[in-house]
Amino acid sequence: MTRAQWRLLLTDPLDGPLNMAIDQAIMEAVSANRVPPTLRFFAWEPACLSLGYMQSIQDVDLARLTLAGWDIVRRMTGGRAILHTDELTYSVAVPTDDPLVAGGIVDSYRRLSAALVEGLHILGVTPEADKRADGHNSANGPVCFEVPSHYEITVGGRKLIGSAQVRRFGAVLQHGTLPLWGDIARICDVLVFTSDQERQHARERVLERATTLEQALGRSVSWREAASAMVEGFRRVFDLNLQETTLTDDEYKRAAELRATQYATEAWNSRL
């Protein structure tokens, strides 16, 4: 059997609006068969708060966000707020008829999670990818890593990788984040709470329910080491021939256009 041919992108740290614009540009190019299915790993500079597609901007304390020096962007995927910093972020874009994403979103989460789990095994982590979340079924808050989700990847009952998916333009995009180190609860510093006590309680909930790779392993892992392990996880699980390359000129142009007209605009980021 011929190994599936995929494209691998390891992109430099970029700002939030451009990162999300690139994901959409890749998705559109994959749908039009201009590029193969694409696996991308990336980082964020500066740190950026991303909101889910239907999340209200009212969840964000914009004054605190500005004081922290962090960007903001609205994703095209659902879910809650994520602070992107000190992390490895991945995205997968494939046509809608790819067997990996056959069936519903939960089915494809399960399949794609297998590669992420394998990558963590390579790093020395023993994770779980479970359809049931962490038992906090009544959790309700603005923070992604505070709220359970389908097939989240956990270590010792604490979320390690969170993912989200969208199906548009004739393609499927799934992206997600693996926190490498740092204070995973600092996101609470830029969200709206009625009191300092409520903010502190939210921080405690995040620390209880989420973790970083450094905490899970007991050692620090560089972005490059984590990316290499995840690449190998995808290669092994899906028997992929991954060709490392760069964005096409057309993708660069489309991403720049999307950043300017959508992802960096107040109309998009504050639309709810």
pLDDT digits (tens, 9 = 90+) for 176-191: 999 999 999 999 999 9
Which residues, in sequence order, are CB contacts of 89 under 8 Å at separation 6+?
19, 41, 42, 43, 44, 175, 176, 177, 178
pTM over 0.85: yes
| pLDDT at residue 52 tops 80 | yes
Architecture in CATH for domain 4-269: 2-Layer Sandwich (3.30)
Residue type, 142: P
Residue 136 pLDDT grade (very low, low, confident, very high; cuts 50, 70, 90): very low
Q: Are 163 and 112 in contact (CB under 8 A)?
A: yes
Average pLDDT, the chain: 92
Position 134 pLDDT exceeds 50 = no
Residue 98 has pLDDT above 80, yes or no: yes
Nearest to 179 by CA among 142, 154, 199, 198: 154
pLDDT of 220-252, one tens digit each?
Answer: 999 999 999 999 999 999 999 999 999 999 999
Active-site option among 8, 14, 123, 144: 144
> Two tokens at 1?
């059997």
Q: For a pLDDT cut of 70, what percent of the chain falls above it?
A: 91
Enclosing H/E stretch for 236:
helix 223-238
CA Rg, the chain, in Å? 18
What the block records as the tokens of 219 is: 């050692």
H/E stretch holding 203: helix 196-209
Q: Which residues contact 66 (CB under 8 A, 6 or more apart)?
A: none
Q: For this structure, is 144 an active site residue? A: yes
Q: What does the pLDDT read at residue 230?
A: 98
Task: Reply yes or no on whether the pLDDT at 148 is more than 70.
Answer: no
Give the mean model confidence (pLDDT) for residues 80-97: 97
pLDDT computed for residue 105 by the predictor: 87
Token pair 């973790």 is found at 211
For range 252-272, the mean pLDDT: 97
Query: Binning pLDDT at 50, 70 and 90, where does residue 149 land?
Result: low
